[in-house]
Structure 1
Amino acid sequence: MTQPLNVVGEAREISTGVREAATLAEGLTDILADTYRLTFKTHAYHWNVEGPLFFAIHNLTEGQYEEMFAAADEIAERVRAIGQMAPMTMDQIMSNSVIEDAHTSPSAGEMCDILAKDHERVAHRLHALIKIAGEKHDPVTEDLATSRAAFHEKAAWMLKAMTAQ
């Protein structure tokens, strides 16, 4: 008999009508990786923003990184719900994400522009996942991806509005 503390997680078959769960898990893992990297980047900008827009950007980014941190758990749990394993290493997060680190200290306006572009990239990837989820008969992932896309599109709009001239 296996001791409960010695159980190791593994991918499992599910029978809910979802087709090609591994393919869906790959898409979800990409989104999870993007979410984690963008959460950190947003949090770092939150800590380091300065200038006349400090208060507005500081507050806006706080709401965004808090929302994304909570979303990461929901995305990972969806991967598990379709019988697959969620990422367990930072290497997996880094290699699956399209979000890139900034190698300089951007101005407040540049922070908004960079983050807006990152949110747009994630929204674009989510649109692809929505299509795939529909094709694979997974309305739950389709709904999750639609909700996440709406968040990222709104975040991009709000960040762009901060520096509109």
Structure 2
Amino acid sequence: MASRKPASASKSAPAVDIGIKAGDRAKVAEGLSRFLADSYTLYLKTHNFHWNVTGPMFNSLHLMFMDQYNEQWTALDQIAERIRALGFNAPGSYAEFARLSSIREQAGVDAPEWKAMVTQLVEGNEAVCRTARKVLATADKAGDDPSVDLMTQRLNIHEKNAWMLRSLLQ
């Protein structure tokens, strides 16, 4: 897979020189792009389930999903801005997200029942964690402490979300 394209710079703008080699920045930006795609896909799924949840757990899940998608929405901007700080363009289309994401959408238009929603969100949060760990390792090797910090923060949140959601199924 080709790495993310560098952000276009005007002829008067200096090259990115933040103390991380260009090749390392490209590897981290590629990983962050995959992480952004996973995060956006999970955000969409969580928001969809917020809208469409029914059943005896409606109120609890409706509120839990809202808290999670609101937090996820804010994080998307932080991830994209980190890609930009590394000197690369962030992906921003459904086509790019679909190509980059490890989280696959479920076929069909009918909303699943609440337990299936919760199961899918556990799996989605865990997928985001797996991607974050890969990016964290790449960023750590490159000496990119801000990206390591961002991935550590995101891991903490998504691991907690997966645990809380999984607890509903026990």
Instruction: Give the alignment's TM-score, normalised by structure 2.
Output: 0.87
Q: Displacement, 1:89?
A: 2.4
Identify the match of residue 154 of structure 1 among 133, 154, 160: 160
Contact 2:140–2:148 (Cα < 8 Å) also in 1: yes
Is 1:142 aligned to residue 148 of structure 2?
yes
Is 1:114 aligned to residue 120 of structure 2?
yes
The aligned counterpart of 2:18 is: 16
Over aligned residues, Cα RMSD in angstroms?
A: 1.4
The aligned counterpart of 1:101 is: 105
| C-alpha distance after superposition, 1:53-104 (max 9, x if no partner) | 1111111110111111110000000000011111132211110001111224
The aligned counterpart of 1:6 is: none
The aligned counterpart of 2:77 is: 73
Task: Give 4+ residue runs of structure 1 displaced > 4 Å after superposition.
Answer: none
Further displaced range: 144-153 or 9-18: 9-18
Letter in 2 for 1:68: Q
Contact 2:38–2:127 (Cα < 8 Å) also in 1: no
Change (3 A) 1:83 1:75: same
Instruction: Give the alignment's TM-score, normalised by structure 1.
Output: 0.90
Identical residues among aligned pairs (%): 37
The aligned counterpart of 1:5 is: none
Letter in 2 for 1:10: S
Unpaired runs of 5+ residues, structure 2, are 1-6
Count of residues paired in the alignment: 156
